[in-house]
């Protein structure tokens, strides 16, 4: 996968064909960002389910055009996720932009977020101890990768059940890196303040 590059002169994402999606194709995949396709709403925008022309299911984060933090979060998440590859991190497939519209295109996690299972008594009863252990272990492995094993040392800063997605096999995938921080090698999480990509 090619990296997306940040043009420091004008703060725009330089499109790399391997991860750049046509905005109109993503709009069509989500039925024009239909409420029927809406999976959730966060502080920086909404997340939609979609299906590409080839039948592949995707998750699309549509950042709010009114949020002053939207552009910074978009760049932060793209720059982080194209560099981070682990089975317990949500996989960024690409991005799309048009004017002030910014989209992040992810692999689709069929079982939604962990909070849907924790806070729903019926769904919670489906999580036996083996599944719970697998989920906890996967989250821990994802965090270990971020903190110790990746080329970058990353502190997520917003890890919660709603930011842990579950695939069709109930494997956890840490998502939403918009608030993440990059640590210098000699830095601790108590002293970090720099956002990756800015």
Question: Residue 159 has which token pair?
Answer: 């890890």
Q: Give backbone dihedrals phi and psi of 74, rounded to 5 degrees, phi first.
A: -55, -50
Closest CA to 161 of 112, 110, 108: 112
The residues assigned a catalytic role are 158
Question: Residue 2 has which token pair?
Answer: 């090619």
Question: Residue 139 has which token pair?
Answer: 């989250």
H or E segment and range at residue 70? helix 70-81
Question: Residue 9 has which token pair?
Answer: 């002169």
Q: Give backbone dihedrals phi and psi of 50, rounded to 5 degrees, phi first.
A: -150, 165
């Amino acid at each position: 996968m090619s990296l997306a590059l940040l043009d420091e002169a004008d703060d725009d994402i330089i499109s790399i064909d391997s991860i750049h999606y046509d905005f109109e194709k993503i709009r069509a995949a989500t039925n024009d960002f239909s409420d029927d396709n809406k999976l959730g709403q966060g502080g920086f925008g909404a997340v939609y389910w979609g299906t590409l022309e080839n039948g592949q299911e995707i998750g699309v984060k549509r950042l709010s055009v009114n949020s002053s933090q939207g552009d910074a979060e978009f760049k932060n998440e793209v720059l982080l996720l194209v560099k981070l590859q682990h089975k317990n991190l949500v996989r960024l497939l690409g991005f799309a932009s048009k004017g002030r519209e910014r989209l992040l295109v992810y692999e689709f996690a069929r079982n939604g977020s962990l909070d849907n299972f924790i806070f729903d008594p019926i769904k919670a009863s489906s999580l036996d101890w083996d599944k719970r252990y697998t989920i906890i272990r996967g989250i821990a492995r994802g965090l270990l990768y971020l903190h110790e094993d990746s080329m970058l040392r990353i502190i997520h800063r917003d890890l919660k059940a709603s930011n842990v997605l579950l695939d069709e096999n109930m494997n956890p995938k840490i998502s939403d890196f918009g608030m993440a921080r990059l640590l210098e090698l000699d830095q601790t999480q108590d002293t970090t303040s720099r956002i990756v990509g800015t």
